Amino acid sequence: MSVFVRRRFVGASLTIVAVIAAVLLAVGAAGSIAATGYTSGWTLFGLIVFLAAYRVRKAIPFLPLGTSAAWLQLHIYCALLTMVLYLLHAGPPLPTGIFESTLALLYLTVFMSGVVGLMMSRSFPARLTMLGGEVIFEQIPIVRHQLQTQVEALVLTGNTDSQASAVAEFYRDRIRPYLLSHRDVLSHLTRGESVRWHQLSRSIDDQRRYLNADEQHVLDEIKDLIRQKHELDTKYALQAALKVWLFVHVPATWALLIFSLCHVVLVHAWTGGLR
């Protein structure tokens, strides 16, 4: 058994054991709602603090606190455990108050964004590697402009009257709008290929039949540059999604931590202090 598989097996096993223990504890304390609420609530709050600490661990990698990979595995399995604890702690019915509803919404936002982030972190880096030609996110608009400049230079090469050229007309009507647009983000995220790219590619192949040999050669070079632009759009969509995810998951995590702390204070204030 490889280290990777063994680590997954151990993590999953411990999570299952913790879930069973939490359920048995809730069943055993069924006669005392307060005992169940306090136990599950404090355990859930402790896990939330631990999950938030993962961001702190990433900010100080030089401290001997274990590997980032080990922290990530604990982060994932503890996050899954929080869902069971949350259901045991909150339970039916659904929250109706403003504070309770906000707390529930924050938890669901953090949990669901974490699931989405896990899926993206497992697939997007591999897709970026397959595309090759690593490009820094902030430099992608510059590279896009460079590709457009190269395409326009090819269109004008060897044409004394570019407006009358078949290649120039095709560029004006079909290619230039594609070069200037950055749509089909969802297609790039899910399939990696946009419908508009396939349509333009087929149009380029059809257009070759009406051109002479020199124009066909120019159009082939333009198609290769457009393909690079399509791959660049995919890289932009994947990297942007990873960055936007952080701006959702991290602030929501800290907001959840603050609201949870307020929840703890209010509960103990209304029940006469710690027990």
Number of independent structural domains in the chain: 2
Same domain, 25 and 120: yes
Q: Which tens digit of pLDDT belongs to each residue from 200-209?
A: 888 888 888 8
pLDDT at position 149, please? 92
Same domain, 216 and 82: no
Q: Which tens digit of pLDDT belongs to each residue from 60-83?
A: 776 677 777 777 888 888 888 888
Least confident stretch, 13-17, 66-70, 153-157, 165-169: 13-17
Structural domain contains residue 65: yes
Cα distances from 69 to residues 76, 80, 127, 144, in angstroms, run 11, 17, 20, 35
Same domain, 117 and 218: no
Structural domain contains residue 263: yes
Structural domain contains residue 275: no
Same domain, 112 and 9: yes
Q: Structural domain of residue 45, as residue ranges?
A: 3-132+247-270
Structural domain contains residue 266: yes
* Percent of the chain at pLDDT exceeding 90: 18
SS3 state at 64: coil
Is 160 a residue whose pLDDT tops 60? no
Is 33 a residue whose pLDDT tops 50? no
Q: Give per-residue burial for 141-180: e unless 16+ CB within 10 Å, then b.
A: eebbeebbebbbebbeeebeebeebebbebbeeebeebbe
In this structure, are residues 261 and 255 in contact, taking their beta carbons and an 8 Å threshold?
Answer: no
Same domain, 117 and 146: no
Is 17 a residue whose pLDDT tops 70? no
Same domain, 147 and 48: no
